A and B are shown apart, each in its own frame.
Chain A
Amino acid sequence: MRFIWFNLMPWPYLPEDFREKYRSVWVDIPSTLYDPVRGHEVYNAYLDQLEFAEAVGFDGLGVNEHHANAYGLMPSPSLMAAALARRTSRAALVVLGSSIALYEPPIRVAEEFAMLDVMSGGRLVAGFPVGTSMDTNYAYGRVPALLRERYAEAHELIRRAWAAEEPFVFNGRFTQLRYANCWPKPVQKPHPPIFIPGGGSVETYDFCIENGYNYSYLSFYGYLRAQRLMANYWQRVAELGADDSPYRATFAQCICVADSDAEAERLYAPHVGYFFNRCLHVYPGFADAPGYRTIKTIQAGFLNQLSRANLGQAASLSWQELIELGYLVAGSPDTVRQRMEELIKTLRVGNIICLLHLGDMPTEKTCYSSELFAKKVMPHLRGIWKDYDGDERFWIHPLVRRAEPGRTIPEVRP
């Protein structure tokens, strides 16, 4: 098992009456709610938490990409990964951007990811999300009906740019390059491990399986609601004749750990409430622009279950209900261990993205919860897939000898 510590980087100062006063946390939220002076503290605290996560033993540090979004303050995940590359030394840098259909020319992503892989000595996990409709269509203006075609073309360009030994001509429909020539090239060969965040589009299963990419289901709904989708994924894996290594799949889960179940509720309930009430308050008019989903996916029929409106339901649930319905895994190390084991086995996932910072949770509580998870939960889950221990296909392969930041600076005499 591998554990990726992840922080969505929400804005923690949304007003208490946010739901009543504003229609959406995303797309058209007024930026007067943001304060760059406080933002300075917030970014630095969030980066501290990510560095702490490496120190207590997490295998990966996760960042992602959102636009015009108060629950995700990372328009450029690569910037955060660059900051982490210098201040961490061991953990994978799991960049679950970049949304490759948004960049023109998309070779920019090949370059930035290569830079990150070289800077970190081969610790990059390259995420290629299509991106949500809110990000790609509403905030970035991409035509919904052409988004997936753009994505496919950008993917082809990036893969070729990493693999090519000579400059090549790229004649795409959206991008034409006479001299496609990616400098630098990634450390990891033939390319860094690629994770594809999916959210219910059936085409994404095949794309991952055929290309040897990890399928990452990033949901805030919890593992009970993910069972049908993941079962369909594994069925597709079998249909296409691929092996059933759990490292093909990643799942994101909101987790809170304390000394006891009661302490968990006392410590974290307000922050979990902030997350489900304010962070996930998205105007339904911004969910899935027509054309964003393929007809095949609509026909597969889980969009109703996945609709953003469903998140509204989570806002009204009590702490106990959130736990019972699986949105949240919370409690003592024993409680969390037991539920995580159930989650890992039922979804058959080798990687967990641990959402241990939620809403407006302060750093002290975040670190407390994360350290308990690392020390008292993780060790008991490590061996669940021991039959697949040798499967390194879906994970980083860092250089053995890596540079130590600051070591080449000569001593400054006083």
Chain B
Amino acid sequence: MTIRSSRIAVAGGRRTIRVFEAGEGAPLVFLHGAGGLSEEDPFLAALARRWHFFAPLLPGYGDSEDAGDLRDMLAIALHGFDVIEALGLDRPILVGHQMGGMIAAEMAAIVPREVERLGLIAPAGLWLDAYPVPDLFAQLPHELPALLFHDPALGERILAASGDLDDPKRLEAFLIRNARQLAMASKLLFPIPERGLAERLYRIRARTIIIWGEEDRLIPSAHGEAFRRAIAGAELVRLPAAGHMVAVEQPEAVAAALARLE
């Protein structure tokens, strides 16, 4: 499978973003989480085996240009529709992980008639006092594998792709990438990853599948239950032996669960 990668203009040329794309079949748009998305992500390969997927990088990620005018959830959710428009798609399956799931759920709540099938993979967006989400913005790099992955060794291999951070050039590149990405993410996730979504979930009309790794240490799976209760007719699929990065750890199982949207 070859991933096609292109830059497209959205919102009448106001923003330029990177989009990955592959596969055949029904169109599916995948919105990534705060950590961004690489072309090598095994989940993209799993998506391409079933759908024609489009994975746009949010402004601030990769070579998607920074967008100072995207300051809050409403602007970012509308940007999501701008992207679908620019791709020429009509009501694609909408899937998002973590921050991307939060955006996807928001889009489905804001314009319920435009989102008919919704896949939420460990979405952020709720705050439950009994199940707090750790502060993603106060983690040291070496703490991330254990927080995000069921298998920290796998997490270390994946996150080590940034290379040796003792090398000043690589450190600077890492700091800049991290600053751009998480600066954007901070608009939705800082200091608490909640922007009132709970009050709007009742508007969602989409057929909804919620997928959670049972060993998720970033967003406890109790959040999955809360999403399921709040969205009419939603199904919750819990995957054992998977952490927050469930789509990386078990790409086939996540794609199979999403296939229930068909």
- Chain A residues proximal to chain B, CB less than 8 Å: 27, 137-138, 141, 143-146, 149, 173, 283-286, 289-291, 293, 295, 298-299, 301, 303-304
- B168:A285 contact, CB within 8 angstroms: no
Cβ-based interface call for B137 (8 A):
yes
Chain B residue numbers with a CB within 8 Å of A285 are 138-140, 143
Given the complex, which residues of B lie within 8 Å of A283, measured CB to CB?
138
B143 contact set on A, CB distance < 8 A: 285
Stretch at the interface among B181-189, B210-218, B237-245: B181-189
CB-CB under 8 A from B192, the residues of chain A are: 141
The majority secondary structure among interface residues of chain B is helix
Q: How near does chain B come to A150, taking the closest CB pair, in angstroms?
A: 11
B179 close to A (CB within 8 Å)? yes
Task: Say yes or no: is B175 at the interface (Cβ < 8 Å to chain A).
Answer: yes
Q: Report yes or no: B186 in contact with A298, Cβ–Cβ below 8 A.
A: no
In the assembled complex, how far is the CB of residue A309 from the closest CB belonging to chain B, in whole angstroms?
10
B244 → A minimal CB distance (Å) = 18
A90–chain B nearest beta-carbon distance, Å: 43
Q: Once bound together, how far apart are the Cα atoms of A289 and B179, in whole Å?
A: 8
- Count the B residues whose beta carbon is within 8 Å of the partner chain — how many? 25
**A295 B180 Cβ-Cβ under 8 A:** yes
> Would you give the shortest CB distance from A310 to chain B, in whole angstroms?
14
14 contacts between A and B (CB under 8 A): A143-B187, A143-B191, A145-B183, A146-B71, A285-B138, A290-B179, A290-B185, A290-B186, A291-B182, A298-B172, A298-B176, A303-B175, A304-B168, A304-B171
- The answer to whether B175 and A137 have CB atoms under 8 Å apart is no
Instruction: Say if the beta carbon of B190 comes within 8 Å of chain A.
Output: yes
Chain B residue, CB-CB nearest to A285: B138
Q: How many A-B residue pairs have CB under 8 A?
A: 66
Q: Which residues of chain B are near A289, meaning CB under 8 Å?
A: 137-138, 182, 186, 190
Q: Which residues of A contact B178 (CB under 8 A)?
A: 290
Given A284-B140, A285-B139, the answer on whether A145 and B186 have CB atoms closer than 8 Å is yes
Q: A137-B190, A141-B191, A298-B175 are in contact. Are A290 and B183 (CB under 8 A)?
A: yes
CA distance A299 to B177 in the complex (A): 11
- Which A residues are in CB contact (< 8 Å) with B171? 304
- Report the separation of the CA atoms of residues A137 and B187 in the bound assembly, to the nearest whole angstrom: 12
Q: Which residue of A lies closest to B185 (CB)?
A: A290
Given known contacts A137-B191, A286-B138, A291 and B172 CB-to-CB distance under 8 angstroms: no
Residue of A nearest to B178 (CB): A290
Apart from A284-B140, A291-B186, A301-B172, what 10 extra A-B contacts exist at CB < 8 Å? A143-B190, A144-B190, A145-B183, A145-B184, A145-B186, A149-B68, A285-B140, A286-B138, A295-B179, A304-B171
A102 to B138, alpha carbons, bound, how many Å? Answer: 20
B193 to chain A, nearest CB (A): 12
